[in-house]
Structure 1
């Protein structure tokens, strides 16, 4: 399949309204087709989940069709899926052929008591938020969701730097600000066999194309976002070693690029 060109855009509406129109409404329309193409877990996410201690309870913020929910190591860990799309959650409810715990909600809202989880993942979600403040708030929600003593977090976002296997062509040219990434609309071509209502499209009918909003992250941008989010919560950035008593912080364990994505792995800590 030839790579699809994406169009650079300016978010000129209220960001929440813009996301409703260009993210949430689109995913509800393409949910069935989208889910049929999203079934293979990414290796680094699989590795992260495989290394968690038995008995840990986690959050998949932006679970989509729930493809990571079955990676519970036969019940040795447990995960709740959160998503804004009701139609994607209908798939997530039975991810892996088993009943799953899922919640309809927003990644920017606190749907549970603070620090209720041992770990959290946010895979290809934060890049759908339409301004830096909302992206920072999403990271803060993750930091608040996990244990301050041992919580672990993995975040993935799309990168401007796409590899040779990418299905996307990113607009060339300088970013508005150094290291600020690009706001783009990425086309989704709906399978001609499936309409938004799940019925067959008439033979010969032109395929429907839906545009989804993404913020494509620049090199270093995700790490800076995490630092700003943690600083806003009065958390120390860095390892726990050598820190003073009565302090809390977050260590950036990994900050890297993999297959057209940037990702960070975080570890919360606190010293009595």
Structure 2
């Protein structure tokens, strides 16, 4: 499987969270520090730090992923942002070969241990969602769950969607999810007034989401901030429209956007 799916892939320098590109504008109050909205947040170091505890809280697959995969089979499948491998495990049951990709070596260690303990036949690769170490047209089936919202700036989020399109075979299909402003925990957030949030608007001034941090609490009480870009549903639609993916279905469930996508047919790259 490794010989068929892996590639060296392009390299990409990690962009900082304060960058604004592609018609995206950040709006912040004068007392709003860059650190307060996670500009200095390193997602790899963060998830390496919390990997063991995080994995213990992620035992079961999301029902929406189970529903998406029901009655689907594939030759090769990919789990982008695989975490502890709980969804890679589902893919391995439905594909001849499955691979999970994550930027965190700590989470990959958890995934490999979980797979070994459960007898799951899957491979796990360290890699960036915006520069996947996977060959073009390699996967027939994929999931990209709860990961795109950790990337910044916008161009890297769109690039990661393009990478998913690249690694999917022409008839491939995938499920993509992200947290959204419809989530209950963000019901009272005012992106303009909240000092811990950086509002993001499109070129026309329309709100498309905001940048924030969400703390992870370790045993003993230590809190570890995690960067999130919280999309409005329309903001997520805009990034999908800017990508090389074609949307088959779009729904909001439990505060998350869930989108079924395929590679666009014959479109030129948009990033």
Q: TM-score, normalised by structure 2?
A: 0.74
Q: Does 1:118 align with 2:113?
A: no
The one of 13, 31, 34 aligned to 2:54: 34
Q: In the alignment, is the contact (CA less than 8 A) between 2:179 and 2:255 conserved in 1?
A: yes
Equivalent position of 1:202 in the other structure: none
Q: How far did residue 86 of structure 1 move?
A: 0.6
SS at match of 1:114: coil
Q: Distance in 1 between matches of 2:98 and 2:240?
A: 23
2:175 maps to which of 146, 150, 154: 154
Contact 2:143 2:175 in 1 (8 A): yes
Work out whether residues 183 and 254 of structure 2, in 8 Å CA contact, stay in contact via their aligned partners in 1. yes
Please, what is the CA RMSD of the aligned residues?
2.6
Residue segments in structure 2 that go unaligned for 5+ positions in a row: 1-15, 22-37, 193-198, 267-271
Mapping for residues 9-158 of structure 1, pairs under 5 Å? 11-12=17-18, 21-53=41-73, 55-72=74-91, 74=93, 76-95=95-114, 97-99=118-120, 100-148=122-170, 150-158=171-179
Q: Check the 8 A contact 1:118/1:147 in 2, yes or no.
A: yes
How does the TM-score come out when normalised to structure 1? 0.74
The 1:181–1:187 alpha-carbon spacing in structure 2 relative to 1, beyond 3 Å, is same
Report the equivalent of 1:208.
222
Distance 2:253 2:97 in 1: 26
Report the more deviating stretch, 41-50 or 152-161.
41-50
1:120 Cα deviation from its structure 2 partner = 1.7
**1:123-159 CA-partner distances (Å, limit 9, x unpaired):** 00100001110000000000000111x1101110011
Conservation of the 8 A alpha-carbon contact between 1:222 and 1:263 = no
173 and 116 in structure 1: CA distance in 2 versus 1, 3 angstrom threshold = closer
Deviation at 1:56, TM superposition (A): 2.6
Structure 1: unaligned runs, 5 residues or longer: 1-9, 193-206, 231-249
| Higher CA-based Rg | 1
- Alpha-carbon distance between aligned partners in 1 of 2:49 and 2:102, rounded to the nearest angstrom: 15
SS of 2:45's equivalent in the other structure is: helix
Give the counterpart of 2:190 among 144, 168, 172. Answer: 172
> Matched residues in 1 for 2:154 and 2:95: separation?
36
> C-alpha distance in 2, partners of 1:94/1:50?
25
Q: What are the Cα deviations for residues 165-196 of structure 1, in whole angstroms up to 9, with x where unaligned?
A: x5x6762245442241010010111112xxxx
- Residue range with higher mean Cα deviation, 27-36 or 39-48: 39-48
Alpha-carbon distance between aligned partners in 2 of 1:12 and 1:214, rounded to the nearest angstrom: 13
Correspondence for 2:210? 182
Matched, 1:266 2:266: no
Q: Is the Cα–Cα contact under 8 Å of residues 200 and 211 in structure 2 kept in the other structure? A: no
